[in-house]
């Protein structure tokens, strides 16, 4: 089993080849192949490679499948005794990527 820890969009993800992940919005068209080069760790069976901070010789190839929006989050702010109420909704823009291989 091969997996890697990748830093992407300010978040760290544990990824495996052949699976898809929803990450923060990326400026790439659906169908594009992107290289994720901020690889922090790679594990192959019992062999671990840890970068300080990144591994320079490892690249993860991923394909952009589509862009979508996350679940709606409702923010409701109340200031007591001031009769102030604010209701705001937010949907995060996401990009679905499919990890093809870890090189």
DSSP per-residue letters across 35-88: EE--EEEEEETTEEEE-SS--TT--EEEEEEEEEEEEEEEEEEEETTTTEEEEE
95 burial (CB, 10 Å; 0-12 / 13-18 / 19+) is buried
pLDDT tens, per residue, the chain with 103 residues: 899 999 998 999 999 999 999 999 999 999 999 999 999 999 998 899 999 999 999 999 999 999 999 999 999 999 999 999 999 999 999 999 999 999 9
CA–CA separation, 26 and 11 (whole Å) = 13
What pTM, to 2 d.p., does this model score?
0.86
Three-state DSSP class for residue 17: coil
């Amino acid at each position: 089993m091969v997996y890697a820890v990748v830093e992407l969009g300010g978040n760290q993800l544990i990824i495996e080849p052949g699976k898809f992940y929803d990450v923060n919005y990326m400026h790439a068209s659906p169908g594009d192949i992107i290289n994720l080069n901020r690889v922090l760790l790679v594990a192959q069976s019992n062999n671990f490679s840890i970068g300080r901070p990144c591994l320079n010789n490892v690249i993860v190839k991923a394909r952009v499948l589509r862009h979508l929006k996350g679940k709606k989050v409702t923010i409701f702010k109340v200031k007591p005794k001031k009769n102030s109420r604010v209701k705001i909704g937010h949907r995060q823009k996401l990009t679905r990527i499919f990890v093809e291989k870890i090189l």
